[in-house]
Amino acid sequence: MPVFVPYGEDYAFVDCIFTKVATTELVKDIVDKMLEDNIRVLVVETNVDGGLKKLILDEYEKRGISCNCDIREKYNTMQKAVRIELEKGVIKRRVWFPDKKLFGKISDMGKFMNNLTLYNSQGGNKNDDAPDSCALFTSEIIGEKYKNKKVKAIKRPF
């Protein structure tokens, strides 16, 4: 679960939860991170049951606070490798990442940066969760800004 913040026209990667624990077991940690980083839009990859969004909303309710976050569920039908390949240009151009040496190798940020930088589009990746989550972000959040943009004809001044 990477956390991005606006950085001019681009976005900066500032925080994350990156562990091999099942997402459904991390609901309390996810809500803590949402509150800590003041997350207003969360895109969750979902399967047919859509369980994670419900679990997050239930955790908010259990804590007695309202969820001020737009939680969007995305059912992906595309393979991870294809999704990453389609979004890699946007990730490189529009997302600012900290130097991976700034974080300990066993911290969540360190593991995320290592996983991201070692990704190989030719295959042989044991774990591709970091580039996949970045691809989901760029397609759903950055791409969303440009979906309704239209070319506008202007009259030439000469």
For residue range 32-68, list pLDDT tens digits in order.
999 999 999 999 988 666 689 999 999 999 999 999 9
The tally of domains found in the chain comes to 1
pTM value?
0.83
Which of 43-52, 66-75, 133-142, 145-154 has the lowest average pLDDT?
145-154
Whether residue 16 lies inside any domain: the answer is yes
Structural domain boundaries enclosing 30: 2-139
CA gap 133, 139 in Å, rounded: 10
Whether residue 145 lies inside any domain: the answer is no
- Picking from 5, 19, 10, the residue whose alpha carbon sits closest to that of residue 109 is 19
Whether residue 59 lies inside any domain: the answer is yes
Helix ranges (H only) for 44-141 are 51-63, 80-94, 108-117, 129-137
Whether residue 147 lies inside any domain: the answer is no
Beta bridge partners of 7: 10
Whether residue 112 lies inside any domain: the answer is yes
| 3-class SS of residue 22 | coil
Whether residue 156 lies inside any domain: the answer is no
How many degrees, rounded to 5, is the angle at CA 141 between CA 143 and CA 101?
A: 110
